[in-house]
Amino acid sequence: MFTFLRQRFLIDTDISLISSVLCSVLVFSNIVFSNIALADGIVVDKVYHPYVLPNEREVEWRMLAQRENGVSNDLAQRFAYGQSVADNLMLEFYLIGERDSNDNFTLSAYEIEARWMMTEQGQYWADWGMLFEVEKEHQENNWEVTSGVIMEKEFGRTSLTLNAFLIYEWGDTIDDEMETEFRLQYRFRHLEQFQPAIEVYSGENYLGIGPAFMGVQRFSGQKQLKWEAAFITGVNSESQGHILRLAIEYEF
Amino acid sequence: MSSTLTRPKSLFKVQFIISYILLMASYNVFAQRQEFSITLKDHLFYPAEMTIPANKKIKLIIDNQDDSVEEFDSFSLNREKVLFPKQKATIYIGPLSPGRYDFFGEYHPDSARGVIIVSEADLPIPAIKEVDNAN
């Protein structure tokens, strides 16, 4: 999570709503609509897919820019190196930079992430994976641990991807808190280089939706360049402004 | 600001775990799939053309008899799979609508090419085995 958008809201949690959700389908919708989280950041980021290839190595750049009706104009970037360490396990290391209030762009945090492909693609009704992250702020003794479920389901030439994350954060200058995040991407595999999608992000009292475009250009062997772009608009009273996210990933 | 840790997080955890178990239990673990086989030799797929039934999930086993690694790739099938030398790999495909679905080997795209034809016509049924987790 990018820390530049730290805001504080105290949300009344509807415990009865949460406790009533016990079936599989509702776990995702529960995370979308429940207000268990205290808002603390922004949920718009990459929608993760549950797949890992052996011998995969990648470098990645992500950019996130938010403009909120003249109130803010924030920018964050991530630089990452990732490598599969097993047939179904990928580790990725991130350096996270943000633009501060003085318009200086500095290192703000670092993170390690593990993505675990739990099922073979296409073997079951849907494909499953899990994600684990540990992030520490550079200047502060603030930590964040994330774990979550990744699901992808094919419907003909379209793919539905769901991410549901449980986040715990603590530190010297932030409150201990538990949060939930939900991300959805519905992608039409039109052309390899151009795949339009729609993305939905929810959590921390934020609800945003918008178009996304992604593609991949293959080179020899495992070398390929992936790109993603999305323009997300907040659609509830707590979510104002627009967020542009870009990602470029080179696999080799 | 009060912390959510003061909330009944154990309740949420139980709900999350139960939901997750139910999600996993939704697998159709007892399903049976038709099996098809392809051999990769000298950077060529044999057979290079294969017909499978429409609207059914099938199990494709690829035997890489070469001494080098290959990667099965198909955008239309939405599959990527590393084929280690002298090993068999399993790819689950479908259900697909009728049509032609090209695939190729990323390391030898000029020679290692093939197509899967999905047909609604009745096909001779190859051996049916229970699903396993062979990779």
Q: What is the CATH number of the domain that holds B126?
A: 2.60.40.420
Do the beta carbons of residue A27 and residue A164 sit within 8 Å?
yes
Q: Does A38 touch chain B (CB under 8 A)?
A: yes
**Which residues, 6 or more positions from A76, have their beta carbon under 8 angstroms from its beta carbon?**
A2, A4, A63, A64, A65, A96, A97, A98, A99, A108
Position B81 in a domain: yes
**Range with the lowest mean pLDDT among A144-148, A217-221, B4-8, B64-68?**
B4-8
pLDDT in tens, B47-94: 999 999 999 999 999 999 999 999 999 999 999 999 999 999 999 998
DSSP H or E stretch at residue A158? strand A158-171
| C-alpha pair distances (Å), A97 with each of A47, A74, A89 | 20, 11, 26
Least confident of A68-72, B2-6, B46-50: B2-6
Return the residue of B nearest to A31 by Cα: B16
Q: Of B19, B75, B82, which is closest to A53 when you measure between CB atoms? A: B82
- Minimum CA–CA partner of B15 in chain A: A22
Q: Please indicate if any CB of chain B lies within 8 Å of the CB of A116.
A: no
- Domains belonging to chain A, first-starting first, are 3-251 (2.40.160.40)
Mean pLDDT of A211-232: 93
Q: Which domain, by its residues, includes B115?
A: 32-130
Proportion of chain A above pLDDT 90, given as a percent: 65
Tell me if B90 is assigned to some domain.
Answer: yes
Choose, out of B23, B52, B133, the residue to mutate when testing the contact with A (most A CBs < 10 Å): B23
Higher-pLDDT residue of B73, A39: B73
Helix (H) or strand (E) holding A18: helix A15-19
Instruction: Examine the pLDDT at A126 and tell me if it is beyond 50.
Output: yes
Does the beta-carbon distance from A27 to B79 stay under 8 Å? no
Q: Answer yes or no: is B16 within a domain.
A: no
pLDDT of residue A78: 92
Pairwise CB contact (< 8 Å): A154 & B92: no
* Per-state percent for chain B, helix, strand, coil, to nearest 5: 15, 45, 40
Mean of pLDDT over chain A: 84
pLDDT digits (tens, 9 = 90+) for B87-125: 999 999 989 999 999 999 999 999 999 999 999 887 665
Expressed in angstroms, the distance from the first to the final Cα of chain A is 26
Residue A111 has pLDDT above 50, yes or no: yes
Whether B24 maps to a domain, the answer reads no
Q: Nearest by CB to B18, which of A22, A54, A119?
A: A22
Query: How does B99-121 read in b/e, with b if 16+ C-beta sit within 10 Å?
Result: eebebbbbbbeeebebbbebeee
Number of domains in chain B: 1
Query: What is the predicted pLDDT for the residue at B35?
Result: 95
Question: Which residues on chain A are in Cβ contact (under 8 Å) with B15?
Answer: 18-19, 21-22, 27, 30
